[in-house]
Amino acid sequence: MSKPPALPTAMPGGALMPFLSARKRHETCDVVFEMIGGAERLAAEADKDSDGFWEFMKLWGKGLPKMSNTEHSVSEGVESLLEKLDERDAAENARLINGTFMEVET
């Protein structure tokens, strides 16, 4: 069973568009938001009662950045990491000659 076609969207000027890109949809919503009172009216509606407040918090929460599970942390400073690298190179019989490490056979 096929899906029925999407209904066309009406633009602020009254023109009909069968498809709106996400960018155009955001632009249109921004224009309409300003036309109906903008941030001042949104604040007044959210401040009317507790239901308005919680509805606003749900709306606001949708715009927050999503958390990622990737953690980037360096528990030690760069100096200690460089010392560990030097220790590893020394353990592998490497010697610095003219700014580059050369392998030394013993």
- The amino acid at residue 83 is E
Q: What backbone torsions phi and psi does residue 95 show, to the nearest 5 degrees?
A: -135, 140
CA 23 to chain centre: 17
Contact 42, 60 (CB under 8 A): no
In this predicted structure, the answer to whether residue 96 has a pLDDT above a threshold of 80 is no
In this predicted structure, the answer to whether residue 65 has a pLDDT above a threshold of 70 is yes
**According to the model, what pLDDT value does residue 64 have?**
78
**According to the model, what pLDDT value does residue 99 have?**
62
Residues 28-53: what's their mean pLDDT? 92
Q: What's the pLDDT band for 32 if we cut at 50, 70, 90?
A: very high
CA dist., res. 74 & res. 32, Å (int)? 46
For residue 41, how many other CB atoms are within 10 A of its CB?
12
* Lookup: tokens for 22: 């996400």
